[in-house]
Structure 1
Amino acid sequence: MAQTQSSQTNYPVIDIDPHFKRVVRYFRPSDYVVWAGVTASGPAFMLMMERTGGPSKGLPIALKLSTVLGFSAGFLLSYQRSSLRFWGWTENSKEMEKDRDEMAKLLEKGEPLYGPEHMDEFNQKASSWFSKYSALKFSSIPWFNFANHRSHGVDPKKYENN
């Protein structure tokens, strides 16, 4: 059963618990720029600190570590930006159009809108409970939705009219 939207947003809600692959597939070029910028900022900061603080023997390791941390943080930030568009919290006209086309193709083929479900009803709900709005909790634990379930906060009937 579809759940109702729990908060008022300025833009239409696409999905309150999108699958990981779908969020990444809907990245905009600006998300990749943010990801690259955050990735580059870690080593840039380390090099700046080396110039102001003097040479250090541990710089190569620190550069590698800051690059890995920057890469991870950049991905999480880009993922969160994409998720905000799914939730209708930021402008999402491109995503709405892409979603409409994607769902219409799935309906034509007779496939389930959110992928095949391999879990029983209780486990689907539990999976949904843990992963809804999980991109807001990245500061404590990165958690993504890798499960297909029916709890997406939108009425699937809206795709039947297109």
Structure 2
Amino acid sequence: MSDEAVSSRGVGVPESRRPYVPGQKLTTEYPLIDSDPHIKRVIRYARPVDYAEWGAITAAVPAGFYLLEKFSPSFVGRGAYPPMFRLATMLGFTGGFLALTTNSTLRFLGVRENQRERDMDMREMVDKVKKGEPLYGVSRLSDHHQGVAMRNSRYSTFFIHVMPMFNFVNHNQHGVDTAKYYQQAERELEAEKTTTDGFLKA
């Protein structure tokens, strides 16, 4: 077939290319780490206080149901209590998880203090550079579909109370200059080489 692309409009119809429009950048108090972090990184970078909050929310919702039943009985019978408390626990568990992911994601975006996460990110990415691994994982998607995935989940944490959405896709569009990782890896490799040479000479 010629250079004419097969598009959704039919065979032989040239595919029009849309101009690239960069994503909106937030003005934040702290440096950006990742504008669309993978859900695995979000959970892995969460702080102990986030997990404590998750547990507290999980326990608070059924406790609230218990207090309501204590001071304002529904008189539904004891048989209704087990499913009611199972539902309350599930609601608390889900709400706590959403709170954890929101707190962690806001640090990635630079909305909250994120020195710990910046150090973790630099260490993780530099180690990947040294091993020759892709920074953000391997993706079988085209650049176009990676962009679609990014636009679906980027900044979704600000709308999580209405429609929870997370990034489950490895893509290459994270809003940061990755050159810093390669520069740091180069500095570390040079330092390691200097140390090794000095040890051999000694």
TM bucket, shorter chain? over 0.9
Distance in 2 between residues matched to 1:91 and 1:6, nearest whole Å: 18
* Per-residue deviation, residues 96-149 of structure 1 (Å, max 9, x unmatched): 000000000000011110001210111000000001011122122211101111
Match of 1:160, SS state, is helix
Distance in 2 between residues matched to 1:98 and 1:56, nearest whole Å: 51
Partner residue of 2:48?
A: 29
Distance in 2 between residues matched to 1:136 and 1:8, nearest whole Å: 14
Gaps of 5+ in 2: 1-19, 185-202
Partner residue of 2:25?
A: 6
Asked which structure has the greater CA Rg, the reply is: 2
Report the AA paired with residue 126 of structure 1. Answer: V
8 Å CA contact 1:50, 1:56 repeated in 2? no
Partner residue of 2:149?
A: 127
Partner residue of 1:85?
A: 107
With the length of structure 1 as denominator, give the TM-score of the two structures. Answer: 0.94
Partner residue of 2:39?
A: 20
Partner residue of 1:159?
A: 181
Distance in 1 between residues matched to 2:95 and 2:103, nearest whole Å: 12
Aligned 1:3-152 pairs, distance under 5 A: 6-54=25-73, 55-57=75-77, 58-152=80-174
Distance in 2 between residues matched to 1:159 and 1:64, nearest whole Å: 46
* Per-residue deviation, residues 78-107 of structure 1 (Å, max 9, x unmatched): 100000000000000100000000000000
Q: How many residues get paired? A: 161
Distance in 2 between residues matched to 1:30 and 1:13, nearest whole Å: 21
8 Å CA contact 1:5, 1:154 repeated in 2? no
Identity in percent: 42
Distance in 2 between residues matched to 1:78 and 1:86, nearest whole Å: 13
Distance in 2 between residues matched to 1:97 and 1:44, nearest whole Å: 38
With the length of structure 2 as denominator, give the TM-score of the two structures. Answer: 0.76
Gaps of 5+ in 1: none
Instruction: Provide the aligned C-alpha RMSD in A.
Output: 1.5
Cα drift, residue 56 of structure 1: 3.6
Distance in 2 between residues matched to 1:56 and 1:95, nearest whole Å: 48
Distance in 2 between residues matched to 1:147 and 1:38, nearest whole Å: 28
Match of 1:125, SS state, is helix
